[in-house]
Structure 1
Amino acid sequence: MISGARDRIGAAATRARAGLMLAVQAGLAAGLAWYVAHDLIGRPVPFFAPVAAVITLGSSAGQRMRRTAELVLGVAVGIGLGDGLVILLGTGPWQIGVMVLFAVLVATTVGGGAPLIVQSASSAVLVATLTTSTGQPWTRFFDALVGGGIGLAVMTVLLPINPLSVVRRAADPALRAFTAGLHEAALGLSDGDPDVIQAALTRLRSAEGTFAAFRTAIDAARENVAFAPARWRARGALAQYVEGAPQLTYALRNVRVMIRRAQVALNDRERVPEMLPASVRHLGDAVELLRMEWSRGVEPVATRERALRAAAESGRAYGTGVGYSGGVVVAQIRTSVADLLRATGVEYAEATRQVRAAVGWQARPLGARRRTARARPVPPPSASPEPDAG
């Protein structure tokens, strides 16, 4: 019970640290937006300026430029409709309902997303309830424009978030879950326990969420690096994550196929050579090494070596004789190794060559390969969008 409380406190502290920078950015942007609109430009009550600044910073990661454009357009639609309908209909509960109806209808008609729709409706309500019809509508639109601009300036120039920290924080749980799933699958294969294999498969299915967060973080980091001059120096280190993330996604899919077939192999009581679980374990070690080498910003040499060792062990297992499902497991290991090599920056053709060399096929004549292919069961196609590297 005490341990659970500590875990919850630790998780809360982690979330607080992760949100601290956004909180500081939002506070600074709101204060600056009011100062610029009120003290420098002379707007008497620039309500929409700090609101627009905060909404800009609170937009989904990786889409702030688009969300800001939708925000400003939404404010324009809401204010324009609100001012016009207040003059025509007056104020009251049913008038507010009509304003919101028209604001949402216009926003959806022009194809706006959720930010435009929500901002159009809320701006119309604010105009009808908290502001008067005096003054020009364009002044409130100008307030929103000032606030959106201040929000963008804060996040790109004054207090840009470190993109590498964001990506590493998102990549860490994804790669740890990937590693744990592979190690658990290796244990299940070694012990001949289908239930452990199923647990590994469930773990990797759950890892899809962490990989989605990883991809979102990469999108945000790309945007941050593109528009924040102070973070341009991070482009080189960030490139490892940006270029490697898609290949890791392919590897995860191939590994899940491999684990499903490993479970079938155990259920069918196929022979499982000891090199096969060793190969899966080495593949998990390679993913863990990739996490560590990426976090240090070094060339992932150790990752490549361990991945090729996994391929070599799978080749040895295949050579001792495996059943149909075992053949699929071997094929998926080879393909996953190729995906992992590509995640480290190796080109496709070179990754294929290295995997075949590690498996022991590089020096074999083509006729021998064909005879082996006829003698062995042919695995189904890989989950990877590219040809099997084995």
Structure 2
Amino acid sequence: MGRSAADRVRDRFRAGTRRVRASWLPILQCAFAAGLALFVAADVLGHPRPFFAPIAAVVSLGISLNSRLRRSAELVVGVALGVLVGDLIIAQIGSGVWQLMLVVALAILLATFFDGGNVIAVQAGASAVLVTTLLPPGDMGGLERCLDALVGGAAGLLVAAAIPVHPVRIVRREARRVLDDLVTVLTEIAAALREADPRSASRALRRARDTQTAIEEMRTAVRSAGEVAVVSPLHRPRRRLLRRYRELTERADYAHRNARVLARRALTALEDGEQVPPELADAITDLATAAGALIRELSRDGHREQARPAILDACDAPVLSGAPVPAPTWEEPVPATSLPVLTAQVRSIAVDLLQATGMTRTEAMRALREQLPDPERLPDTEARPGPE
């Protein structure tokens, strides 16, 4: 039965409330930065109508919260360049359609020449449009408005340093999301193998292929948080912890890539009618539970190693060591030719998760060999996932 309109409205209201609760500090930053930029440009420098100063402050903060500081600098320079070019040109040739086309082309051309980034080029063109269409011809305030844009950008960076968003909290939230996705994919793969259901395996593969966006967002969050820690003295001591999250990001990326290979091979095995031993599905379920333990440990910064026993315990099944499994009782079974690939991918995911707890690859491989019931069967190196 479908959900009622009232339920959907309540869900949207709750989602909006969560977004506001998560964004209150960036909103406060934008408000302070806009006020500071306007005060400096109008009251300190004495510029009339310094509207570009608060605009540059708000927009530069919006960029720097979710991306790199370099993009923030590109934006501010783009604003200043577009304002300067627009002011200088329309003061000489007036405003109109062809004047607008000329100013926009020149602003983007210069921005591309100096940097080549998309942000600076687009912002230069947009600022030139504003100057050309909103300001009267002959208004000689180009240098002042260019300075206003730089003042606004500086105000945004100053407020970001003085009232910083907590960098670790953002990264931790993204890390939980990435690991939650891994738990879901592994759980769905295990269920598909246990039920011998190719359609479930196909759904698991689709979900596994959709996780790369979350990984890239986590990578961006880690990079941005590191820059906040550099700019803000309050968060500088957290740089070491952020380096750990950077390593966690790379290990989680490898784990997801191995999970995609695992899902694809599981789908192939089920479509071919191979009889995969149920012990493998149990081991994958245990590994998903271990990944959940790592998620819980993320709330205790510096204690990731406490998730290691759960990861290793998930690998004590004989099927993962290549040991013989009981022969199936059904008639004319299809040989499980995919089993070596499946078990290798499960072991690779386990190694990735152990590295996510802070172990080196050598330490993780050694710990895995010691955990497996038949360690001499495990090769010295695990295969990395190939192209998908």
Q: Following the alignment from structure 2 to structure 1, what is the Cα–Cα distance between the partners of residues 165 and 191? A: 40
2:103 maps to amino acid: M
Q: Following the alignment from structure 1 to structure 2, what is the Cα–Cα distance between the partners of residues 351 and 384? A: 21
- 2:80 and 2:147 in contact (8 A); partners too: no
268 and 130 in structure 1: CA distance in 2 versus 1, 3 angstrom threshold: closer
* 1:300-315 matched pairs, under 5 angstroms: 300-313=304-317, 315=319
- 1:103 and 1:124 in contact (8 A); partners too: yes
- Residue of structure 1 in register with 2:329 after alignment: none
- 2:52 and 2:148 in contact (8 A); partners too: yes
Is 2:371 aligned against 1:358?
yes
* 1:1-390 matched pairs, under 5 angstroms: 1-2=3-4, 3-59=7-63, 61=65, 63-131=67-135, 133-135=138-140, 137-157=142-162, 159-313=163-317, 315=319, 318-321=322-325, 323-362=336-375, 364=376, 369=377, 381-383=383-385
271 and 128 in structure 1: CA distance in 2 versus 1, 3 angstrom threshold: closer
Aligned-partner SS, 2:175: helix
- 1:37 and 1:46 in contact (8 A); partners too: yes
TM-score (norm 2): 0.88
Consecutive unaligned residues of structure 1, counting only runs of 5 or more, are: 374-378, 386-390
Q: Following the alignment from structure 2 to structure 1, what is the Cα–Cα distance between the partners of residues 91 and 273? A: 80
Q: Following the alignment from structure 2 to structure 1, what is the Cα–Cα distance between the partners of residues 317 and 256? A: 19
TM-superposed CA distance for 1:311, in Å, is 2.3
- CA shift digits 1:37-61 (9 cap, x unpaired): 1112222222221111011111154
Consecutive unaligned residues of structure 2, counting only runs of 5 or more, are: 326-334
- 1:254 and 1:332 in contact (8 A); partners too: yes
TM-superposed CA distance for 1:178, in Å, is 1.3
Q: Following the alignment from structure 2 to structure 1, what is the Cα–Cα distance between the partners of residues 13 and 287? A: 34
- CA shift digits 1:75-134 (9 cap, x unpaired): 343233223322331122321222112212222333432221222122222333333544
Q: Following the alignment from structure 1 to structure 2, what is the Cα–Cα distance between the partners of residues 242 and 202? A: 26
- Residue of structure 2 in register with 1:376 after alignment: none
Aligned-partner SS, 1:311: coil
- 2:348 and 2:382 in contact (8 A); partners too: no
- 1:261 and 1:326 in contact (8 A); partners too: no
1:179 maps to amino acid: V
Q: Tell me how many residue pairs correspond in the alignment.
A: 372
226 and 205 in structure 1: CA distance in 2 versus 1, 3 angstrom threshold: same
380 and 64 in structure 1: CA distance in 2 versus 1, 3 angstrom threshold: closer
> Is 171-180 or 121-130 further displaced after alignment?
121-130
Q: Following the alignment from structure 2 to structure 1, what is the Cα–Cα distance between the partners of residues 279 and 183? A: 18
TM-score (norm 1): 0.87
Identity of aligned residues (%): 38
- 2:34 and 2:55 in contact (8 A); partners too: yes
